[in-house]
Amino acid sequence: MLSGKVALVTGASRGIGREVALTLAEYGAKVIVNYNGSKERAEQVVEEITAKGGLAEAVQCSVADFDACGEMIQNMLGKYGHIDILVNNAGITKDNLALKISEADFDEVLDINLKGTFCTIKHMYRAFLKQKSGRIINMASVSGLLGNGGQANYAASKAGVVGLTKSVARELASRGVTVNAVAPGYIITDMTQSMTDAAKEAVLSKIPLKRAGSPKDIAETVAFLASDKASYITGQVISVDGGMYM
Ligand SMILES: NC(=O)c1ccc[n+]([C@@H]2O[C@H](COP(=O)([O-])OP(=O)(O)OC[C@H]3O[C@@H](n4cnc5c(N)ncnc54)[C@H](OP(=O)(O)O)[C@@H]3O)[C@@H](O)[C@H]2O)c1
């Protein structure tokens, strides 16, 4: 389904990004496994892909660092000649009531989740224009669609990702590049494991399908959006959340 394609997945050392990298590789893509701090975990992802006969490499870069993103993308374009699929998955939370969110915690969440998504898009933009094809898939969140008490910074960043997605989708549509977002609900990863048991119960009670999702649920949706099967879908936010947002 994706053979011959090169994919860049940000935040692919753990959780959803890791599963996206493995899944895109299973479908035949060469995968650039971006990470920030988890070098060994990223290298494990690369090993898993290569053990199955795929091609991948790990590249360190904080997506919040505009110039570092430019350098990573130029290096990878130089090496592979093209990047066809950009998955902006890297993200963090710094949860608290808005009353207690520090300026630093607000800025850090916005810098990684929202500006980080812009940084890679900006540095890929000309390449996508020239290629006249491509896929951008941004990780939003149910919190960005519904709002969530205790996550004002995170929800704002993810609502921003939705606006960014739709705007760039309009800009790049005439060049054959589609831009979509996936909005996960409650997915079992390191990010959600740090929640208290009470918070986990509270989320579960709001899920019509009555269970948490897995990284694979998200990864298969990303793979579909990255494939030719989704060539007529752009500017959309696909919720993968057991029905939380409908
Ligand atoms: N889990 C959920 O329920 C859920 C729900 C809705 C949306 N999401 C979104 O899905 C995405 C993945 O979440 P997850 O649950 O898989 O999180 P996770 O398990 O905490 O993993 C986060 C990933 O992001 C990377 N990352 C963090 N800061 C980075 C930076 N500055 N530059 C590059 N990479 C960075 C981490 O890399 P290092 O470890 O190498 O630093 C890691 O690979 C996020 O955008 C998140 O907001 C998750």
Q: Whose CA is nearest to atom 39 of ligand 1?
A: 38
Task: Please tell me the pTM assigned to this model.
Answer: 0.99
Q: Quick one: average pLDDT of 77-82?
A: 98
Judge whether residue 237 has pLDDT over 90.
yes
How confident is the model at residue 234, as a pLDDT?
99
pLDDT of 204 above 90: yes
Task: State the pLDDT at residue 208.
Answer: 98
Catalytic residue among 27, 35, 154, 232: 154
Average pLDDT of the residues in 110-127: 99
Does 168 have pLDDT greater than 90?
Answer: yes
Q: Where are the alpha helices (DSSP H) in the chain?
A: 15-26, 39-51, 66-80, 103-109, 116-131, 142-146, 152-172, 190-193, 197-204, 215-226
Share of the chain above pLDDT 90, in %: 98
For the question of residue 245 being annotated catalytic, the response is no
187 Cβ closer than 6 Å to some ligand 1 atom: yes
Give the 3-state secondary structure of residue 183: strand
pLDDT greater than 90 at residue 241: yes
* CATH class of domain segment(s) 6-233: alpha beta
Whole-number Å distance, alpha carbon 174 to ligand 1 midpoint, is 31
| Structure confidence at residue 206 (pLDDT) | 96
| CB of 112 shorter than 6 A to ligand 1 | yes
Q: Cβ distance 72 to 124 under 8 Å?
A: no
CA 45 – CA 96 distance, rounded (Å): 32
Q: How far is the CA of 97 from the centre of ligand 1 (A)?
A: 21
pLDDT interval class at 194 (50, 70, 90): confident
